[in-house]
Amino acid sequence: MRVETVTRSEPGRHREAPAEHHVVIVGGGFGGLYAAQALRRAPVRVTLVDRRNFHLFQPLLYQIAVGGLSPGDIASPLRSVFRRSNTQVIMDHAVRIDPAERKLILRQRELIYDSLILAPGGHHSYFGKDHWETYAPGLKTIEDALDIRRRVFSSFERAELEEDLDKRRGYLTFVIVGGGPTGVELAGALGELTRTTLRDDFRNIKPAQSTILLLEGARRILPSYPEALSLKAQRSLERLGVTVVLGALVTDVGRDRVVYRSGADSRELRAGSILWAAGMQASSLGRELSRSTGAEIDRAGRVIVGGDLSVPGYPNIFVIGDLAHVRGADGTPLPGLATVAMQEGRYVARLIAARLERRSLPSFRFRHRGNLAVIGRNAAVADLGRVKFSGFPAWLIWAIVHIAYLIEFDNKVLVMIQWAWNYFTRKRGARLITETVRVRPDIPP
């Protein structure tokens, strides 16, 4: 079921007309997007495959969950990013790789590649308890964010109607599992929401009396940050009314109910919203690749790649982003962050271009530009290597960096001004509780 324009140049077969080098990229996240962008001027044609028709600016996804931004504000249609470029966008699912035939098998067609870049990302890991997802959704897609938004705002509505004080307290209890950047930002945003935005909106309840619990298994939140910043972040969260519980292990999750162990204690809580921000599991495409190439995968399902980010033995198959296990300067694997994926995407693009000119490149080296996490309106922590900030200066850096990235490939200046406006006026225009959209079975996968 091939489409002619895509498989027109099958390099191995029509040697007489020197075909253009065909780069196939799976995934339009940060890794795939930056790879395709960096190949714009290379003498190649690119096919970008994604299941969705947009790139998502995931670092601001938590803002959708708390009603600060609308989905359209942080998503860029891939077709409009790559209009008038050498990249063709295809909406499809990658199923299998056939390295011998240089074939990528999608659900609806097959693509012959000269170079293949796999950047399918990952999803939340429930450590083998996948049924917890029903009660404690993660924050990875627009749908997740809207689901969380519905839960959070419905909790206030239910509390407003509830006379039983125990149940009311339950609805006003928000538990966030995982104290990494996502969990911290979500907890901070909920703190702000309950303490300022919703302050005067209800008659029977006081949103400011909500309980916001951040459960982290390690001895400090933001474990990948310098210790001083972890402490500052915790103090900022506490000022917003968030209770941080360290060394906490979740042992059970049910409807409106979470059980966790902290030291020798086991506690059971009634909670209207339980949000999952712990653990990452790489895309199953990694196992698929391992099956066909013998590549090793780590415990999180990531593919262990070589110094040039290619699969050992397959120099034209690259893995980047959350699916790649790449060791940093200190020997530990690089974290699943947008900056890592972006740098990897650019590196692979440069490497492919260099090889076409019969040049070589040194191995990939991640440049640590800094870690940022935001906690509410004007507090953040920034670790820029030598310099470490917290409070408002860190927030300003955070805002500038994010706005700069957002407008890099999509002119979202005004969206961001709007957002900053809301931020300072403490409004939340997007706090709509929307319902399930009707299903239509014949919409493409």
Active site residues: 185
> By CB under 8 A, is residue 164 in contact with its own copies?
no
Number of alpha helices (DSSP H) and beta strands (DSSP E) in the chain: 12, 25
Binding residue (CB under 8 A) for its own copies from 21, 22, 150, 232: 150
Nearest approach, Cβ of residue 341 and its own copies (Å): 21
Nearer to its own copies, 34 or 54 (CB): 54
d(CA 393, CA 379): 8
Residue written as token pair 């014949």: 442
> By CB under 8 A, is residue 166 in contact with its own copies?
no
Residue written as token pair 């996948």: 130
Contacts of its own copies in 39-68 (CB under 8 A): 52-54, 67
> By CB under 8 A, is residue 404 in contact with its own copies?
no
Binding residue (CB under 8 A) for its own copies from 96, 158, 206, 257: 158
Binding residue (CB under 8 A) for its own copies from 111, 198, 280, 311: 198
Phi and psi of 60, rounded to 5°? Answer: -105, 10
> By CB under 8 A, is residue 163 in contact with its own copies?
yes
- How many amino acids of this chain bind its own copies (CB under 8 A)? 75
Q: 417 with 425: CB under 8 angstroms?
A: no
Q: What is the DSSP string of 83-102?
A: TTSSEEEEE--EEEEETTTT
SS3 per residue for 150-211: HHHHHHHHHHHHCCCHHHHHHHCEEEEECCCHHHHHHHHHHHHHHHHHCCCCCCCCCHHHCE
Nearer to its own copies, 142 or 249 (CB): 142
Q: Which stretch binds its own copies (CB under 8 A): 93-101, 276-284, 340-348, 423-431?
A: 423-431
Sheet containing strand 273-276, edge to edge, reads 242-245, 211-215, 173-177, 273-276
Binding residue (CB under 8 A) for its own copies from 23, 349, 353, 415: 415
Nearest approach, Cβ of residue 4 and its own copies (Å): 7
Rg (C-alpha) for the chain, rounded Å, is 23
> By CB under 8 A, is residue 363 in contact with its own copies?
no
> By CB under 8 A, is residue 165 in contact with its own copies?
no
Binding residue (CB under 8 A) for its own copies from 16, 128, 166, 203: 203
d(CA 394, CA 384): 10
Residue written as token pair 């900030």: 389
CA 282, chain centre distance (Å):
12
Scanning 178-319, the segments in alpha helix (DSSP H) are 181-192, 227-239, 285-293
d(CA 439, CA 221): 39
> By CB under 8 A, is residue 411 in contact with its own copies?
yes
Binding residue (CB under 8 A) for its own copies from 154, 262, 293, 378: 154
Helix, strand or coil for residue 435?
coil
Nearer to its own copies, 91 or 245 (CB): 91
Q: Which stretch binds its own copies (CB under 8 A): 26-34, 159-167, 338-346, 351-359?
A: 159-167
Site string for its own copies, 71-100 (x = CB under 8 A): xxx-xxx-xx--xx---x-xxx--------
For residue 182 the two structure tokens come to: 């996502």
Contacts of its own copies in 117-136 (CB under 8 A): 134
> By CB under 8 A, is residue 3 in contact with its own copies?
yes
Looking at the DSSP assignment, which residues form a beta bridge with residue 48? 25, 89
Contacts of its own copies in 253-272 (CB under 8 A): 255-256
Nearer to its own copies, 76 or 310 (CB): 76
Site string for its own copies, 231-250 (x = CB under 8 A): --------------------
CA 103, chain centre distance (Å):
28
Nearest approach, Cβ of residue 229 and its own copies (Å): 32
Helix, strand or coil for residue 10?
coil
Nearer to its own copies, 43 or 72 (CB): 72
Binding residue (CB under 8 A) for its own copies from 101, 143, 268, 408: 143
